[in-house]
Structure 1
Amino acid sequence: MNFRTQIPIQKQQHNQVDYHSKVLLLGSCFVENIGDKLSYYKFQTLQNPFGILFHPLAIEALITDAINDKEFTEDDIFLHNELWHYFGAHSKLSSPSKEALLQKLSQQITATKEWLNSATHIVITLGTAWVYRYIETDIIVANCHKIPQKQFQKELLSVDAVIESLQAILVLLKEYNPKTQVIFTVSPVRHLKDGFVENTQSKAHLISAIHQVINKEQSHYFPSYEIMMDELRDYRFYVKDMLHPNETAIDYIWERFQNIWIADEALLTMKTITEIQKGLQHKPFNSKSEAHQVFLKKLELKKRAILEAFPHIIF
């Protein structure tokens, strides 16, 4: 007997991720779960250069600004709670120094442009269709930076509005980097601060819009949300907040992603890198013992073999 349903997903036949690929990851906190896995296995990645971005308009704005070489000035940033912030970035970029923030924004926008130009794959994970409009400037922000909510107007992006944003993203990417593959996914993290019904409505808008724009040539859909909601429909797959997937769930979704998007020829390298990573974390009882010295020599040989094949890898 089979006690659960499994979502059938066809393996990607072309343009898979290997150790020559460059993967840019943008979007919600779940994209960082996938990004952390790729980073652990030493794939070439850049992950959320402007921090976590939850909705499509924020991701569209970042891509547009990067391609257009946006230059940041003091007019773009503001002081709140003794920190300087930028409405288009996550608060992890915020700084007590406005000069430091402007420098950081400039560095990150340059890095984003470089990766948009060279990325073989761009993973975009959408978290919500709910957005906040800053009333003073009538601009939708990526992050409210703990400014009082009364200064914002909360809005739900319509399906058409999400479609328009995603189409703009795809047009920009196709013109700037025609060979890149875009992988859309919807975060399985539920935004229950919006409300239970409102979260479902939001996710539905995102999913409906994505399926209107994907073409299976340049853009694709990976069902991380559906895997979490259907295959892992049990609270034992969540952390204590009962909203975010736990390590077991992340490992499972990563395994499904790996089976579809990671090239078969990369799997042996991944296995060796896992052995190296575990070896680097190993703490011996006696660091001067002969057995440990033999272990270190074997570990070094594995590292050399990997670095000869892929010089860009850093342990």
Structure 2
Amino acid sequence: MNFTTKVPVATYAYPIDYSSKLLSLGSCFAENMGDKLDYFKFQVKTNPFGIIFNPVSIDRLVDRVINQRLFTESDIFFHNDLWHCYEVHSELSHPDKDTFLEKLNAVIKTMNHQLNKSTHIIITYGTSWVYRLNSTKEIVANCHKVPQKEFTKEILSPEIIQQTIQNTIDLIRKVNPDCRFIFTISPVRHIKDGFKENQRSKAHLITAIHHSPFAIHNYFPSYEIMMDELRDYRFYNDDLLHPSQVAIDYIWIRFFEHYVDSKCFDTMQEVCNIQKGLTHRPFNPDSSAHKQFLVVLKEKIVRLQAKYPHFQF
């Protein structure tokens, strides 16, 4: 008997391997997938500007990075004892203005190099809902706990999202015509927007991607897997909004089975064994058995690093 509806996942035409250089952008689920890729020692960079939920803000940052438009004092503001920027996540905020600007512009230069050199770019869209700053009419990536009255909330139409996706693709391909894209929609539920509003938001994202011939042919259905294969609250964290670790692991398995070159699977298992060994906590650290275990573990690491010099444990 089958107790779940299996979502079909097509095998990706341009599989990821250990020579691939990956950049993962978007919502917190982009971080989940980035963490998994990093755990298995793939060459991945995740959200250099922090978590970004909506397509317009992702596109705006890509445009800034590719055209190397550095941040200036006019792009930042002081609030609650920190300097912030409406284009980036609050994790980058800083108490010193000059340090903050230097940090932001250093990320532009680093990310510019990453966009130029990436073989695969994974973009995870989280929501169609956006906040527009009343004083500038610009859509922000993060409100930084500025009072709600300073913003107007609106939802992006599928047409605007589709145009934004295409613009992001065109921008990146202008500097890196050979890179491959993977698009997905975050399975995280944005219930603070409301139940109907969350469904409407995801529907706009899905509609936009399905009306983009390029995006739909490079689409991984993480949202659909969560909704159809894992349609039970036991697959959510305690907040009932974010996928649990079990759900993340399951979606990751569906991803690597179809998007990672099968020639990498044995190496991935070796990496996994080493990672588990590194987290092992012995009853007696001074025992000869544990010391021998560490010697063998070190030998495994050295052997893998000889083959893949970029591996760091």
Do both proteins adopt the same fold according to a TM-score greater than 0.5, normalized to the shorter chain? yes
Kept in 1, the 8 Å contact 2:66–2:172? The answer is: no
Task: Show the counterpart of 2:295.
Answer: 297
What is aligned with 2:7? 7
Looking at structure 1, the residues matched to 118 and 205 of structure 2 have their Cα atoms a distance apart, in angstroms, of: 24
Secondary structure class of the residue paired with 1:221 = coil
> Secondary structure of the residue that 1:11 maps to in structure 2?
coil
Superposed displacement of residue 3, structure 1:
1.8
Whole-Å separation in 1 of the counterparts to 2:53 and 2:241 = 15
The alignment status of 1:274 with 2:272, answered yes or no, reads: yes
User: Residue in 2 aligned with 1:250?
Assistant: 248
Counterpart secondary structure, 1:220: coil
In structure 2, what residue type is equivalent to 1:304?
V
CA RMSD of aligned residues (A): 1.2
Of 201, 218, 221, 1:220 maps to 218
CA distance in 2 between counterparts of 1:190 and 1:255 reads 21
Structure 2 CA distance for aligned equivalents of residues 21 and 235 of structure 1: 35
Deviation (angstroms), 1:286 = 2.2
Between the aligned partners of 1:91 and 1:15, the Cα distance in structure 2 is 34
Alpha-carbon distance between aligned partners in 1 of 2:138 and 2:284, rounded to the nearest angstrom: 60
Paired residue total: 313
Which residue in 2 is equivalent to 1:309? 307
Amino acid at match of 2:5: T
Aligned residue number for residue 87 of structure 1: 86
Q: Residue 229 of structure 2 aligns with which residue?
A: 231
Inter-partner Cα distance in structure 1 for 2:305 and 2:128: 43
Map Cα deviations across residues 26-50 of structure 1 (whole Å, 9 max, x no partner).
0001111101100111110110000
Secondary structure of 1:184's aligned partner: strand
For 1:76, the equivalent position in structure 2 comes to: 75
Assess, with a 3 A threshold, how the Cα gap between structure 1 residues 214 and 32 changes in structure 2: closer, same or farther.
farther
How far the C-alpha of 1:69 sits from its partner, in A, is 0.8
Equivalent pair of 2:182/2:220 in contact (CA under 8 Å): yes
Paired residue type of 2:298: E
Tell me which residue corresponds to 1:265. 263
CA contact (8 A) 1:54 1:126 kept: yes
- Answer with 272-281 or 282-291: which moved more: 282-291
Contact 1:125 1:184 in 2 (8 A): yes
The residue that corresponds to 2:60 in the other structure is 61
CA distance in 2, matches of 1:282, 1:193: 39
Identity of aligned residues (%): 52
Partner of 2:27: 28
Residue identity opposite 2:248 in structure 1? I
**Is 1:214–1:221's contact at 8 Å kept on the other side of the alignment?**
no
Segments of structure 2 that go 5 or more residues without pairing to the other structure are none
Query: Residues 55-91 of structure 1: CA distance to partner in whole angstroms, max 9, x if unpaired?
Result: 0011101110111111111111000011000000000
- In 2, the alpha carbon distance for the partners of 1:62 and 1:193 equals 25
Instruction: Please state whether the residue corresponding to 2:211 is helix, strand or coil.
Output: helix
1:214 positional shift: 3.8
Map 1:4-153 onto structure 2 (within 5 A).
Answer: 4-12=4-12, 14-153=13-152
* 1:19 aligned partner, one-letter code: Y
Cα-to-partner distance string for 1:78-122 (whole Å, 9 max, x where unaligned): 000110000000000001111121111011111111110011111
TM-score by length of 2: 0.98
Deviation at 1:216, TM superposition (A): 7.0
Asked if 1:192 is matched to 2:191, the reply is yes
CA distance in 2, matches of 1:230, 1:85: 39
Contact preservation (8 Å) 1:122, 1:180:
yes
The runs of 5 or more residues in structure 1 that have no matched partner are none
User: Could you tell me how far apart the structure 1 residues matched to 2:73 and 2:123 are?
Assistant: 29
CA distance in 1, matches of 2:303, 2:212: 42
SS in 2 for 1:292: helix
Q: Which amino acid aligns with 2:179?
A: T
Amino acid at match of 2:238: K
Q: Distance in 2 between matches of 1:289 and 1:190?
A: 48
Code of the residue aligned with 1:141 in structure 2: it is V
Q: Deviations over 1:128-186 (max 9, x none)?
A: 00111000111111100000111101111001100110010111122211111111100
Which AA in structure 2 matches 1:2?
N
Name the SS for the 1:125 alignment partner: strand
TM-score after normalising by structure 1: 0.97
In the TM superposition, what is the alpha-carbon distance from 1:211 to its structure 2 partner? Answer: 1.5
